Structure 1
Amino acid sequence: MYSLYYSPGAASLVVHWLLIELGVPHELRLVDTQAKQQKSAEYLALNPNGVVPTLIDGGTPLYEAAALVLHLADRHADAGFAPQPGDAQRGAYLQWMLNLANTLQSPLRLWWYPQDIDESLADAVRDGARRKIEATWDRLDAHLAANGPYLLGERLSAADFYLAMLMRWTRSMPRPGHEWPHLAALAQRMKARPSFRTLYEREGLTEWA
């Protein structure tokens, strides 16, 4: 059975969502980030980065949200959320997963935590992050317009779950991701899944429902 160290709405959300979708046994271990529990010696022994998520698989702690998404989708290949090696769409799938991690998740973290760069320059850091994020939304929306409705066309993949989580993170930004029409359509499809409702109930979330 998997054990997921999580905090509601954090990067652990997509891992939790996939565990629900896959229907595999798992337990949740809440990390109180307000109390800095993720910086405790006990947690750092599992994840030296001091962030969530951490997934325990067979007694081994694993971390990095994108890596956990890739791991689960491959580990449970019968669910069809990851093109397997040899599949013509495998390269595009890996491309999108890493693109989302690098071009969206990284600047989104700076939007929420500009002090990671320089607290005295918080406004400038946020502005730079916003411009990078909005440029990425432009490209993604154009891709979905030409090749959608999902990142891999008609094929739903784990990358779409990841993209939906990152859109949720922009809900308080000046121009959230769901204001782009084709991204909005993808968001609505993902939020209509029964697993999304279960996820929100378990994590006690209400925003962006």
Structure 2
Amino acid sequence: MYALYYSPGTASLVVHWLLIEMDLAHELRTVDIDARDHKRAEYLALNPNGVVPTLIVDGEPRYEAAALAMYLADRHPEAGLAPEVADPQRAQYNQWMFNLTNTLQAPLRLWWYPSDLQADDEAVRLGAQARIEAACERFDAQLAQHGPYLLGERLSVADFYLTMLMRWTRKMPRPAHDWPHLGAFAQRMKARPGFATLYQREGLSEWA
């Protein structure tokens, strides 16, 4: 059984969603961000970065959301959510996962937490917004030309990750679902039964 340290709506969301989608036995351990549980010594001993998620795997703590998502898919190939190493689509899958973390997740972090740079918040947000919107243009074009998923007809972990990041744009001047193909993609992903279960468990309502 897995144990997931999580906080609702954060980067742990994609790991929680995949545990549900893949029907993997797991327990949830809430990390109260407002109470700064993630900065307590007990938690830092599991995840020295002091962020969520942390996944306990065979008694050992593992972290980094994208790495955990890819790990679960590789460890449970029967779920069919990642091309195998010898599969021609594996390189494309890896490319999208790294693309998501570098070109979309990174500026989203700045938009939500501009004070991390100890600079003018408005300037940081404007710069991050430009990067996010440029990334959305590229992802929308990919789905338009090669959809309905990032790997074409093949659903993968990358699609779950993209959906989580799209949710993070919901309060931006132009949220990701405003792009037509991204919007249709989001509706498709949110229609999955696992998404409703995820929202119910995490007590979420925005962007349902």
TM-score (structure 1 length as normaliser): 0.99
Q: Which position in structure 2 is the counterpart of 1:141?
A: 140
Q: Which position in structure 1 is the counterpart of 2:80?
A: 80
* Shift, 1:8, TM fit: 0.2
**1:101-153 deviation digits (Å, cap 9, x = unpaired):** 111111101101011101x4111111100000000000110111000010000
Secondary structure of the residue aligned to 1:17 is helix
Is the counterpart of residue 69 in structure 1 residue 69 in structure 2? yes
TM-score (structure 2 length as normaliser): 0.99
* Shift, 1:80, TM fit: 0.4
* Shift, 1:56, TM fit: 0.4
Structure 1 residue runs without a partner (length 5+): none
Separation (CA, whole Å) in 1 of partners of 2:54 and 2:104: 20
Separation (CA, whole Å) in 2 of partners of 1:144 and 1:200: 25
1:1-209 correspondence to structure 2 within 5 Å: 1-118=1-118, 120-209=119-208
Letter of the 2:203 partner, please give it.
G
Moved over 2 A (4+): none
Secondary structure of the residue aligned to 2:204 is coil
Secondary structure of the residue aligned to 2:35 is coil
Separation (CA, whole Å) in 2 of partners of 1:58 and 1:50: 21
Letter of the 2:86 partner, please give it.
G
Secondary structure of the residue aligned to 1:127 is helix
Separation (CA, whole Å) in 2 of partners of 1:77 and 1:127: 41
RMSD: 0.5
* Shift, 1:17, TM fit: 0.1
Letter of the 1:139 partner, please give it.
R
Letter of the 2:34 partner, please give it.
Q
Letter of the 1:55 partner, please give it.
L
Separation (CA, whole Å) in 1 of partners of 2:109 and 2:36: 17
Letter of the 1:36 partner, please give it.
R
Separation (CA, whole Å) in 2 of partners of 1:206 and 1:63: 26
Structure 2 residue runs without a partner (length 5+): none
Separation (CA, whole Å) in 2 of partners of 1:124 and 1:47: 31
Letter of the 1:196 partner, please give it.
F
Secondary structure of the residue aligned to 1:163 is helix
Secondary structure of the residue aligned to 1:132 is helix
